[in-house]
Structures are given as C-alpha cells and as structure tokens.
C-alpha cells in the first residue's frame, strides 16, 4: 500500500538525461549561503563529529531535521544547502551531520565513516535530545539523508535503537544494495564517478599517513579502480568487517527495512545511474506499514532538477510535503 504509484516529477525538457541530472546541480546550481553554527561533538572512541546548525529563526523551532550527506560530501554540498534553505524557510531548524573527516578537518583515528555507521547517527540524535532537554523544549525530530547518508538512516531506523523523538524520515537516491551498486559503478560512464570517489578517498588516506603516522600504500590505492578493491583494502579491515562482501551485506539497508517503525519516504529515481533493481525494494514496500517507496521515471542521482520562482528543486518540495 505505501508504494506511490504515480510521481509528480517531470524533468526540464533539456535536462532529462540521467547523467545530466546527476552532474548539472553540482556544476551549475546556485544556493544561498547559509549561516551555519558549528558544534563539535566529541565521541566515546576519542574521535569527533562536526555538526552544522542552521536555525529558522531567533528562537528554536518546534521541529528539527538531522541531515546526512553522501559519500565524500559535506554540509556544504549544494543538495544539503538547498534542502536546508527550504526547511528553514518552512520554519524548521536543521542540523547537518558531517561524517568523520568530512567537515574540512581530518578525523583523529585510522577509521573513518562508511555506509552503515549508524552508531555516529545515534550519537547525534542523543546530542540533539540532550540539548533540547537542557533548553526545556523537547522537539520532534525528522531525518533526511542522501545516497550513502540515506542508507545510514534506513539501516538505523531498521535497527530501531536510540530513536526516541524521531517522527519521520525522507531518504533519496539510496544504494540499498551496496554490492550491486558497487558493480554498477564499474560500468560505462559510471567509471568517471568511481575514479572521482577513489581520488578523494585516497587523498584522505594520504593525510592519515602524514598526520597519524599510518602506513597505507598510497601507490597501490591510487591504482585501484573499484569499490571492491578499496573496501577490501581499507573500509572492511578498518571498521571490523571480514571482507568487502561482508561489509556490503551487513551494511546494505535493504536487509533492515522490515524493522522501520516511523513513516519513511524512499525516493529513488528510476534512471539513477548508481542504482540496480535490488535498490528498489518494491516487495518490502508493498506490504509495509511505514515505508513509502516513490520512483519517478527521471531524476538521476540526487538530481530532480526543477525551475520555479523559489529556486527549489522538486525533491525539496516533495520532502517538505511528506514531513508535513
């Protein structure tokens, strides 16, 4: 029943191609600069997370959204700022979670973040609740996540731990099945995206060698062309997984969807170049009381380009409507 059979998204006449949808916003979208207020959250393992708050007004709003970005992105990404701007305009406060090492400052440990790092999201949830209680004003919490951040949110919701105060969620362009998505990124033009991701990830390993005295073989990492190679050599061993295959299996959100107990919208474009059929959980959504699946024919990966007099993209209007 929660499958949304007909989506309202219609792409611009000349911007409908899935790679154009994916690349155009990064290169050409202009989003107003936000006056973020940064909070450093110290973690129990000695590391930290940087949270960027954007308030809707002088006084705290009745609702707050925790937002999670995608792989090798940050709170400064165009899609994070666009969604934050739309939420602030609707009177909602936002806290953008920068994953470890993504805030402009290297994290302190050899480990970093990954597609299933739900313990860090739970730490942010606890910090938001603590701040609200200290202010004497507990607020309703919503979650919004893009790509990797969406996978983290779905997995966290499915695990069902530390979710007090969470009322609903919207996730977009989510690689719910990590193994098949990693394979998809090895094909055709997608290799351009893969090389870009690997380049950024290896640059962070170089910093760990310099700052932390790590001994990663940077030449070997630079020769890598796939997530299978990178996750086998770094992500899996540094985060306690036996192999890349085990990491993908244990962190793919598709295996946690049955545990979701708050209204959740999963918005994956049908032409997303990063996704495979396994990333569209039709069967789970069909009989799910909380998971709403919407699959517009177009939209690319975190695209959904739209032209309107408010400067918003379609997915931002859609998210606001669902959360309301």
- DSSP 3-state assignment of 294? strand
Given the DSSP bridges, would you call strands 93-98 and 63-68 parallel, antiparallel or unpaired?
parallel
Show contacts of 35-42: CB within 8 Å, 24+ apart. 36/75, 36/96, 38/103, 39/95, 39/127, 41/123, 41/124, 41/127
Sign, CA torsion 153/154/159/160 = positive
Is 275 within 8 Å of 259 (Cβ atoms)?
Answer: no
Helix ranges (DSSP H) in the chain: 18-28, 78-89, 118-134, 148-159, 178-184, 190-212, 218-222, 227-230, 236-238, 244-251, 282-286, 314-323
Give the C-alpha separation, 121 to 153, whole Å: 8
Per the structure block, which two tokens stand in for 203?
């640059």
Q: Which H helix or E strand runs over 172?
A: strand 166-172
Is 164 within 8 Å of 263 (Cβ atoms)?
Answer: no
Q: Which residues are catalytic?
A: 147, 272, 301
34: DSSP letter? P
Is 190 within 8 Å of 184 (Cβ atoms)?
Answer: yes
Show contacts of 212-216: CB within 8 Å, 24+ apart. 212/108, 212/109, 212/110, 214/110
Number of Cβ within a 10 Å radius of residue 188: 10
């Amino acid at each position: 029943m929660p499958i949304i059979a007909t989506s309202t998204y219609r792409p611009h006449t000349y911007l409908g191609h899935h790679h154009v949808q994916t690349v155009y916003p990064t290169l050409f979208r202009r989003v107003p600069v936000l006056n973020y207020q940064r909070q450093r959250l110290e973690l129990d393992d000695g590391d930290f997370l940087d949270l960027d708050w954007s308030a809707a007004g002088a006084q705290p709003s009745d609702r707050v959204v925790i937002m999670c970005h995608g792989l090798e992105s940050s709170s400064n990404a165009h899609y994070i700022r666009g969604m934050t701007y739309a939420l602030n305009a609707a009177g909602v406060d936002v806290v953008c979670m920068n994953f470890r090492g993504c805030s402009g400052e290297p994290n302190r440990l050899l480990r970093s973040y990954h597609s299933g790092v739900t313990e860090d999201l739970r730490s942010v949830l606890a910090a938001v609740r603590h701040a609200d209680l200290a202010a004497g004003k507990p607020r309703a919490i919503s979650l919004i996540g893009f790509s990797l951040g969406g996978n983290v949110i779905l997995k966290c919701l499915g695990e069902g731990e530390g979710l007090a105060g969470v009322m609903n969620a919207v996730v977009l362009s989510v690689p719910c099945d990590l193994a098949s998505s990693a394979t998809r990124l090895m094909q055709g033009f997608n290799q351009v995206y893969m090389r870009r991701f690997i380049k950024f990830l290896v640059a962070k390993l170089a910093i760990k060698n310099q700052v932390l005295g790590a001994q990663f073989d940077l030449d070997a990492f630079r020769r890598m062309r796939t997530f299978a190679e990178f996750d086998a050599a770094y992500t899996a061993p540094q985060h306690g997984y036996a192999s890349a295959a085990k990491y993908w299996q244990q962190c793919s959100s598709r295996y946690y969807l049955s545990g979701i107990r708050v209204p959740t919208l999963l918005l994956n474009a049908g032409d997303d170049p990063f996704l495979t059929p396994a990333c569209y959980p039709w069967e789970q959504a069909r009989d799910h009381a909380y998971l709403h699946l919407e699959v517009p024919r177009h939209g690319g990966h975190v695209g959904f380009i739209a032209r309107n007099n408010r400067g918003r993209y379609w997915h931002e209007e859609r998210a606001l409507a669902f959360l309301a």
